[in-house]
Amino acid sequence: MIHGLYDVIHRRRDVRAEFTGEPVAPEVLDRILTAAHAAPSVGLSQPWDFVLIRSEPVRKAFHEHVRTERDVFAATLSGAAAERFARIKIDGVLEAGLSIVVTYDPARGGPAVLGRHAIADAGLYSVCLAIQNLWLAATAEDLGVGWVSFYREDFLQELLGIPSGIRPVAWLCVGPVSHLEQVPDLERHGWRQRRPVTDAIHEDRWAG
Ligand SMILES: Cc1cc2nc3c(=O)[nH]c(=O)nc-3n(C[C@H](O)[C@H](O)[C@H](O)COP(=O)(O)O)c2cc1C
């Protein structure tokens, strides 16, 4: 079912616990990847690639690594923050049957990437736009997506055989869900509140 754009933007959630484990239909996967690939990119470089991961051994190996990195972060916390973090689930790697790793190739479209000469990060921004397109398209298809960033890039490069120079940008868990929560998990668990949009808007000059 296709929802209106604003409805999709506001229904989108980062999903960890709600994956059902059912597969993603091939034609649906094709639509969400085609939506990702339609994103704008600096110099029309389209610097992204999508590694589709269904292998259970690969997902298990990644999940072990994520657990280790979770512990690394947990060790930096104390008191109430440590207690709150202990209750927060940070991934659905084992629960979702499909993961998509999105990568960035800075050499794509080079050496003269139009619009990137002064801002090297513009290539990474482009990859993030592809990810957001994927996320919104998946939401429109009633799928859930969960972004996992508790990993070291060199570990993931090695695990997936990603050539050196190409950076993994996101591990995305993707799949059917029981439901999408209305409030972000981090807010529900008291980790952090969303700030009002009025606080993010400045007139003519940075204020506050
Ligand atoms: C770059 C990036 C990395 C993220 N990494 C993680 C992660 O490792 N684990 C996790 O549970 N959520 C992760 N998230 C999801 C955020 O926690 C989530 O987007 C935020 O709390 C707002 O919730 P919502 O996406 O449901 O609106 C990540 C999101 C982004 C954009």
Tens of pLDDT, residue by residue over 20-65, are 999 999 999 999 999 999 999 999 999 999 999 999 999 999 999 9
pLDDT per position as a tens digit, 154-208: 999 999 999 999 999 999 999 999 999 999 999 999 999 999 999 999 999 998 6
CATH of the domain at 150: 3.40.109.10
From the CA of 66, how far away is ligand 1's center (Å)? 14
Does residue 207 sit within a domain?
no
Does residue 50 sit within a domain?
yes
pLDDT per position as a tens digit, 108-163: 999 999 999 999 999 999 999 999 999 999 999 999 999 999 999 999 999 999 99
Average pLDDT over residues 97-110: 97
Does residue 61 sit within a domain?
yes
Does residue 196 sit within a domain?
no
- Identify the domain containing residue 109 by its residue range: 5-180
From the CA of 23, how far away is ligand 1's center (Å)? 23
In the structure, what pLDDT confidence band is assigned to residue 98 with cuts at 50, 70 and 90? very high
Distance (Å, whole) CA 184 – CA 70: 19
From the CA of 147, how far away is ligand 1's center (Å)? 6
pLDDT at 207: 84
For ligand 1, whether the C-beta of 90 sits within 6 Å is: yes
Helix (H) or strand (E) run with residue 175 in it:
strand 167-176
Does residue 200 sit within a domain?
no
In the structure, what pLDDT confidence band is assigned to residue 3 with cuts at 50, 70 and 90? low
Residue 1 has pLDDT above 90, yes or no: no
Does residue 195 sit within a domain?
no
Residue minimizing CA distance to atom 7 of ligand 1: 148
Pocket probe mutation, ligand 1, options 149, 180, 182, 188, max atoms within 8 Å of Cβ: 149
For ligand 1, whether the C-beta of 147 sits within 6 Å is: yes
From the CA of 190, how far away is ligand 1's center (Å)? 15
For ligand 1, whether the C-beta of 186 sits within 6 Å is: yes
Does residue 29 sit within a domain?
yes
The answer to whether the predicted template modeling score (pTM) of the entire model surpasses 0.85 is yes
Does residue 188 sit within a domain?
no
Structurally, the chain folds into a number of domains equal to 1
